[in-house]
Amino acid sequence: MAQSDPWSHRCAILVSWSTIDAPMSTIVGTSTAERTVGATGRPRVAVVGSPTRASDDLVGAWLAAGMDVSVTTPVLALATLEAGDVALLRLDVLPTLDGIEPGFDVVPVLEERGIRVLNRPQALLAAHDKLLTAQVLAAAGLRQPHTAHVRTTQRRPQQALPCVVKPRFGSWGADVMLCETTDDLDRALAIASSRQWWARHGALVQELVQPTGRDLRLLIAGGKVVGAAARVAAAGEWRTNVSVGGHLERVEPPPEAIAEAERAAEALAIDLAGVDLLPGGDGWVVLEVNGAIDFDERYVLPGRDMYREIAEALGLPLGPALDSEDAGAAAPASPVHELAAEAGDRIEIRGQVVGGRPRRAEILEVRGEPGHEHFRVRWEDDGHESVYIPGGDARILRSES
């Protein structure tokens, strides 16, 4: 009998008490086999997840390059995709930070139909669950911060100071607390224990990799770096997240950082992701992996066509090469979608969503810097909450109150 994969075994153990309310076959399964092309002669591609500006820009560039592609929900993917088509999962962490957006349960059905699935649940879970990320990276021999899992405030973890307390499923820099003293750590754990996500997953206490005011985020597709940006912290802030005031700068990543990022993506077996790194000692430290990375034209490397390279690295079908005067269309400069909005307004998304009907959501919170606003929203069609980064197909519907 063949030996079991220890990495899959860790996923199976963790998923039993993590965020996924879906059959085990959704998480641990065999790799996707090569699929035959559908009856149209050209596979259809669905980017599956809540609509974001990154997905909007990605789809817009791929449409310009001749791909049959759209953004869709998991349920619509189930209703519209056929054998030979492709589903690229971009399900993100929930705004409540206690799990992942729903949708993993459709994957077994899609794969049974002969639909190729990229960013499979096993890989997305390993990226979004920061405890599992640390375990997988450590097993692969990659440098990453020492991480302890805490489920009680009664016993302080054995972690060198300074350290960081953070949610197990985290994003946007939310509820990430720097602790320089034991009193800081006690206070941070007390705050964490009052959060909704604590009851389900506890918290992580992680070694602090010395902040430099900036870190490096590399975009990986099909195991290769296809884009990069430096994230620069706001004045007086140690976190580099754009959602807490940071900004992006263009960068050419060094070969050593590229190699570490590609190793991290390979360890998680993820198809499209972002890898965050900081220099440490004589090399690079992997801070985390983002399975639903937000990216735009600021990630384009000099002389490269990022969007076309993503498609080619993922083995996705593009149409005929564009004429030279249209060459820029495959990697459009994403416009700054300035949408002045307030909590209580609604947002409507039109255009590239499969099914043709607009989606609407109530804006619960406005986040981000001017010109790069994003919103915490509640979707009207299914009631779930997510973080939405607006694209060119979005408009604000003002509250009448």
Domain layout of the chain by residue ranges: 6-128, 146-207, 214-316, 346-397
> What is the structure's pLDDT at 118?
98
Distance (Å, rounded) from C-alpha 328 to C-alpha 319? 15
Distance (Å, rounded) from C-alpha 137 to C-alpha 143? 7
CATH class of 146-207: alpha beta
**Hey, how many other C-beta atoms are within 10 angstroms of the C-beta on 61?**
23
87, 94 contact by CB (below 8 A):
no
Distance (Å, rounded) from C-alpha 39 to C-alpha 107? 22
Distance (Å, rounded) from C-alpha 400 to C-alpha 70? 32
Is the pLDDT confidence value at 136 over 80?
Answer: yes
CATH number for the domain running over 214-316: 3.30.470.20
pLDDT tens digit string along 175-229?
999 999 999 999 999 999 999 999 999 999 999 998 888 999 999 999 999 999 9
**Highest mean pLDDT out of 91-100, 154-163, 218-227:** 218-227
Confidence of residue 24 (pLDDT cuts 50, 70, 90): very low
Considering only residues 202 and 341, tell me which one the structure prediction assigns the higher pLDDT.
202
pLDDT tens digit string along 299-337?
999 999 999 999 999 999 887 644 334 433 333 433 334
122, 27 contact by CB (below 8 A):
yes
The answer to whether the bond into 335 is cis (omega within 30° of 0) is no
Q: Are strands 86-89 and 116-118 parallel, antiparallel or unpaired?
A: parallel
Q: What is the CATH topology of the domain spanning 6-128? A: Rossmann fold (3.40.50)
Q: Are strands 177-179 and 214-221 parallel, antiparallel or unpaired?
A: unpaired
Tokens of 345: 């307004």
Tokens of 242: 């754009």
Q: Is the four-CA dihedral 266, 269, 273, 278 of positive or negative sign?
A: negative
Cα distances from 351 to residues 20, 47, 69, 199, in angstroms, run: 31, 14, 12, 39
322 Cβ contact list (under 8 Å, min separation 6)? 64, 65, 66, 329, 330
Considering only residues 73 and 318, tell me which one the structure prediction assigns the higher pLDDT.
73
Tokens of 338: 């300035």
81, 115 contact by CB (below 8 A):
yes
Distance (Å, rounded) from C-alpha 290 to C-alpha 127? 6
